[in-house]
Amino acid sequence: MTDARVLDDLAARLRSARAVAAMTGAGISAESGVPTFRGADGLWRTYSAADLATPEAFARDPDLVWQWYRWRQGIIGRAQPNAGHVALARFQSRLPGFTLITQNVDGLHQRAGSTDVIELHGNIWRARCARGCGVVRETRADPSGAGPAGGEGPLPVCPCGALLRPDIVWFGEALDPRHAGAATRAAEACEVFLAIGTSALVYPAAGLPLVAGRAGAVVVEINVDDTPLTPHADIVLRGTAAGLLPALEARL
């Protein structure tokens, strides 16, 4: 089938489905200028996940970890949602049973107009108590890259006296069970599952399209490259999220 026929066919399935779930990864924000993790220019090529994205790293060197997150806040604060984010926000208004799940921490889906987004790995614009007393703080969307303490200032401290840390799920940490539960239920209930711009390597998120497939959903992969999900996908669309999602949305 030609790409146009595949898109026509998929759009018809989406229109007739009672429930649709989409899960995005860093690839959807790549065209907004936000670096991915594992590509040729990915963050893990230059930075060590073990030094920056684990609770042990934060305990060892919270300054370094906050510096890295402030730098990323700067990039994300200057980025704009792209046509892929906008198309997914329109999916939500066109498809009544649509659930958007994201692994991204950048908040670009919400800035494009999506609501009720299930953020599996947290959000870079929030900080929470590192000791776990329950305090959560919004951090400023400051394009200068200044973090919650403002620029290079002292590290942010919780009223309980512990440090605040980025509200992000690091390696080895459990996902918030409310978000993991909602995402699993959406995967089990949907008739079409779209996996968009994710390397499908990081669990438990990478298991969601497989859950959906086992429950009978049509699994669709949208990615510029092959991933471990590719052999399990029913439909593979090779191309960019910002190119393919508007083309799909135009057919809904």
Catalytic residues: 121
Least separation in angstroms between residue 207's CB and ligand BJW is 9
Residue 240 lies near ligand BJW (rule: CB under 6 A): yes
Among 118, 122, 120, 143, which residue's Cα sits nearest to residue 33? 143
The string of DSSP codes covering 94-156 is: H-TTEEEEE---S-HHHHTT--S-EETTEEEEEEEESS-SS-EEE----TT---TT-TT-PPP
Q: Which does 213 bind (CB under 5 to 8 A by kind): ligand BJW, Zn ion, none?
A: none
CB closer to Zn ion, 6 vs 135:
135
Tokens of 246: 């508007």
List residues binding Zn ion (CB under 5 A): 129, 133, 135, 158, 160, 162
Residue 198, burial from CB neighbour count under 10 angstroms (0-12, 13-18, 19+): buried
Residues 26-65 that bind ligand BJW (CB under 6 A): 26-27, 30-31, 36-39, 42, 53
Say what angle helices 241-249 and 83-94 make with each other, to 10 degrees. 30
Residue 131 lies near ligand BJW (rule: CB under 6 A): no
Residue 103, burial from CB neighbour count under 10 angstroms (0-12, 13-18, 19+): buried
Least separation in angstroms between residue 37's CB and ligand BJW is 3
Minimal CB distance to ligand BJW: which residue? Answer: 27
Least separation in angstroms between residue 18's CB and ligand BJW is 27
CB closer to Zn ion, 141 vs 160:
160
d(C-alpha 85, C-alpha 233), whole Å? 22
Among 10, 118, 169, 190, binds ligand BJW (CB under 6 A): 169
CB closer to Zn ion, 12 vs 133:
133
CB closer to ligand BJW, 58 vs 98:
58
